[in-house]
Amino acid sequence: MPRPRVLSGIQPTADSFHVGNYLGALRQWVALQDTHDTVYCVVDLHAITVPQKPAELRRRTRVAAAQLFAAGLDPDRSIVFVQSQVPEHTELEWVLACLTGFGEASRMTQFKDKSAKSGADTASVGLFTYPILQAADILIYDADQVPVGEDQRQHLELTRDLAQRFNHRFGPTFVVPGPYILPEVAKITDLQDPTIKMSKSSSSPQGIIDVLEEPGSIRRKIMRAVTDTDGEVRADEEAKPGVTNLLRIYSALSGETVGSLERRYAGSGYGVLKKDLAEVVVDAFALIRERTEKLLANEGELDRMLADGAARARELAGATMARVRDRVGFLPAN
Ligand code: AMP
Ligand code: TRP
């Protein structure tokens, strides 16, 4: 039995991933290598749906890829590549765009949220078609499952709909992927406003812990994290979102259950909890940071690893595109 294939992507839109990305995505990607056939991409095409500076995009793409390898993605076990280096993604995206209803695309809530931010009239058409490119990313590799956070559920539904529509209209061509929604436990909130998700777009720097952050800065941010005044170390999402978030991060990084942490810190106050948590976070990220720096110091080697990933991805993507071209009625590409 071949292993089921998973495909996922992450945008290179920051100078570091944060603890939410790490616990909510990266760490699971690494674990899936043991049980699945794994394909992961840095989605730089998606990153330009909002304005980006060229030098910054180039740097962030390498930093993102380096962190993926540093966190444990193994080029011998996974295909790790940069989306724009596999031009078949945009080729398939066009075909899928022609099968997508305008109204259907207009209902995507992430587009509505993101375009509302910039003003609906200035949002790009690329931002509008973002989910269709995402569908192409997934379908071009015959992915069985797509590990993503809850916020991506609607894009995955669209992907399934498009796969089924294509198969129905042109004959069986695509695998219809199932969702693989990542566990709730991994939902990490902002340190300064624990009622909102930790996010590179909406959190203040004080509300985010980066994977590549200096230990001193990690410690300061955790010590200043917003909690509450009742002084009780106890998880309660509604009444105590700040403390709950700290316990969650602690538990996810240490492997100790939240219940056990609650018992261990009962009566010791938030200061002690924060101090210990800071060391847990610093330790967890030290090695990733060191490995990332090493990879970035040898750009030629990093680029070679990515070129190799892209070549392997193109082999799979090219085979799917040949099938698609034939089904749609295009002449062979070569
Ligand atoms: P983003 O590019 O910010 O959407 O993040 C990429 C991935 O990281 C998402 O698909 C989520 O799985 C994960 N992620 C981002 N922020 C968080 C968070 N605050 N808590 C848990 N997971 C997150
Ligand atoms: N839209 C995803 C996010 O913001 C990123 C993404 C692009 C993706 N292509 C993908 C995720 C394909 C899974 C599969 O998180």
User: Would you tell me how many other CB atoms lie within 10 Å of the CB of residue 220?
Assistant: 13
Question: What pLDDT was estimated at residue 186?
Answer: 63
Local confidence pLDDT in tens for the 334 residues of the chain: 889 999 999 999 999 999 999 998 999 999 999 999 999 999 999 999 999 999 999 999 999 999 999 999 999 999 999 999 999 999 999 999 999 999 999 999 999 988 888 777 889 999 999 999 999 999 999 999 998 888 888 999 999 999 999 999 999 999 999 877 666 546 899 999 999 999 988 889 999 999 999 999 999 999 999 999 999 999 999 999 999 999 999 999 999 999 999 999 998 999 999 999 999 999 999 999 999 999 999 999 999 999 999 999 999 999 999 999 999 999 988 7
Give yes or no for residue 146 CB within 6 A of ligand 2.
yes
Judge contact between 67 and 292, C-beta under 8 A. yes
Q: Dig out the tokens for 271 from the structure.
A: 């200061």
Nearest CA to ligand 2 atom 10: 9
Burial track 154-190 (b if 16+ CB lie within 10 A, e otherwise): ebbebbbbbbebbeeebeebbbebebbebeeebbbbb
Give yes or no for residue 77 CB within 6 A of ligand 1.
no
Strand partners, 18: 210
* Dist. CA 176–CA 173, nearest whole Å: 9
Nearest CA to ligand 2 atom 13: 8
114 is catalytic: yes
Angle between helices 88-97 and 153-170 (to 10 degrees): 80
Which residue is associated with the tokens 């190799």? Answer: 308
**From the CA of 25, which ligand is nearest?**
1
* Dist. CA 284–CA 62, nearest whole Å: 22
* Dist. CA 331–CA 334, nearest whole Å: 9
Give yes or no for residue 47 CB within 6 A of ligand 1.
no
Out of 197, 221, 240, 274, pick the active-site residue.
197
Task: Report helix, strand or coil for 18.
Answer: strand
CA-based angle 296:298:300, to the nearest 5? 110
Judge contact between 92 and 139, C-beta under 8 A. yes
Contacts for 160 with CB less than 8 Å, ≥ 6 apart: 176, 177
Q: Dig out the tokens for 27 from the structure.
A: 């760490």
**From the CA of 199, which ligand is nearest?**
1
Ligand 1 atom closest to 201 (CA): 3
Give yes or no for residue 152 CB within 6 A of ligand 2.
yes
Judge contact between 272 and 281, C-beta under 8 A. no
Out of 117, 200, 274, 275, pick the active-site residue.
200
| Choice from 137, 180, 197 to test ligand 2 binding pocket (greatest atom count within 8 A of CB) | 137
Q: Dig out the tokens for 270 from the structure.
A: 């938030």
Strand partners, 79: 39
Nearest CA to ligand 1 atom 14: 21
Q: How far is the CA of 306 from the centre of ligand 1 (A)?
A: 23
CA-based angle 243:236:272, to the nearest 5? 25
Which residue is associated with the tokens 């796969």? Answer: 163
274 is catalytic: no
8-state DSSP, 24: I
Give yes or no for residue 110 CB within 6 A of ligand 1.
no
Give yes or no for residue 20 CB within 6 A of ligand 1.
yes
